[in-house]
Structure 1
Amino acid sequence: MKKIISILAVLVLTAALAACGNKDKTSSENSKTITVGASPAPHAEILEKAKPILKKEGYDLKIKTINDYTTPNKLVDNGELDANFFQHTPYLNTEKKSKGYKLVSVGNVELEPMGVYSKKYKSLKDLPKGATVYVSNNPAEEGRFLKFFVDDGLIKLKKGVKIQDAKFSDIVENKKDIKFNNKQSAEYLPKIYQNQDVDAAIINSNFAIEQHLSPKKDSIALEKPKDNPYANLVAVKDGDQNKKKIKALIKVLQSKEIKDYINKKYDGAVIPAK
């Protein structure tokens, strides 16, 4: 008899725990709070603009500002954040491969475009034979630098090489014998461009602005947002992409209101993704 009572007690406890677990899962699914980790600018600024719009739709957006690039994915993967907003697809793929994160993109929001700057020439095709272009020493973005010249027909890469994976060593045709000087960090490029006699330099928009350069007005070539693999995205844990609150979040971030805000506030330094 005691054995039967013990078995029944275990079954009741198991059922109670299961019910509690299902309740917690349902509660999580129906939660009206969205917690997003983001870099301070422009990501957190854009989220602040989205906050009252989401509030009207019944969602409370909480923004956790994070100043490094390693923490946000970890926090989403372990469930401490619902989503993050700070990275582009190549970076997300690298993180997933190296750290085993089960994360997915739910959509692109904006692009912080790189630009090619020159005080001597008005276009890439005006560059003389043997011109030197200054770029950063970040090997992960060599394909990003090369895309300007590939798109303009000045350089061809090995067959089958994806532009986001391309390296300088993948160049098989270089019509103007363009040389790439990659001996400096990205933050120093604007000063080199301003203070030295260079043919051209490829500069990140945030560093360009710090030196009072306008990506829209001063560059001779600027990254385009359409199908750009470097557009910044919203990432969530795989399986969460169909949650109502996540769909609401990305819908607002891709809305006309947010796009208009980005265009007005950043004047080409940040542009809406397409």
Structure 2
Amino acid sequence: MNDLKSLFSSNLKLLFFKTSKRDFDAFSLDHLKLGLFLTWIVGMGRWWDDPNANILQHLGMGSVIYIFVLAGIIWSVVWPLKPRNWSYRHVLTFVSLTSLPALLYAIPVERFVPISTAISLNIGFLAVVAAWRVALFFFYLSRHADLHWFKTMVVGLLPLSAIVSSLFFLNLHNVVFDIMGGLRDEGPSPHEGEYSVLMLLTMLSVMLIIPLLLTYAGLIYHEHKVKPNRTNALSREQVEPDASLDLDTPNEVFPNHREKAS
């Protein structure tokens, strides 16, 4: 049983890229409980001042449901590459513990600054949180899963490409329909900038998804076909004796043997 102080300390170490392999291996059910609690709190803070958010978003349950889905996507994408010590619960624990930076979203900047400034600030918050979490994801793949840097890049970008597109649809805000339909009757929203960024990221994700999928398929083939065959071939070479050596004729192998015998 971990005390609360050590759990928060472990979370902070992760957020600042200080977690070692041993620390990752020590993730327990208590870490998961803390992560789920933080995700719930952050989820409520994300939407508490937004009148257009639905009931699940206001209750923070949308964020909790989301991390279960996200962890499932990450686990299933990385698993074929045979990562070290890989389990769904561990991935879920990691994802939940990366929720804390999203507290930036809870700052109601639109209440203190003009709406145009609030939009810029929200874009900045979105960029900071997104970059932070992506960096943590790559750190997790490299440090805990022990993947080669190229595998880390591919399996890191592949789910992100799919996730960004999913986020665009799952987090649809009424203002998105206003933007797409050219409607401005209710005035601008401080979240308009965020959705504009998501639209751009979605376009980039669509462009990357095909080459990433092809590279990912190649990595799986190499991991399950080429690599095992190469390992088996090396094992046979080490176990099987050299056929050029006739062990039944020691005089030919060791020419001095006959001289000593005489």
Q: Which has the higher contact order (CA 8 A, sep 6+)?
A: 1
TM-score of the pair, normalised by structure 2: 0.22
Q: Which has the higher helix share?
A: 2
Q: Which has the larger radius of gyration?
A: 2
TM-score of the pair, normalised by structure 1: 0.22
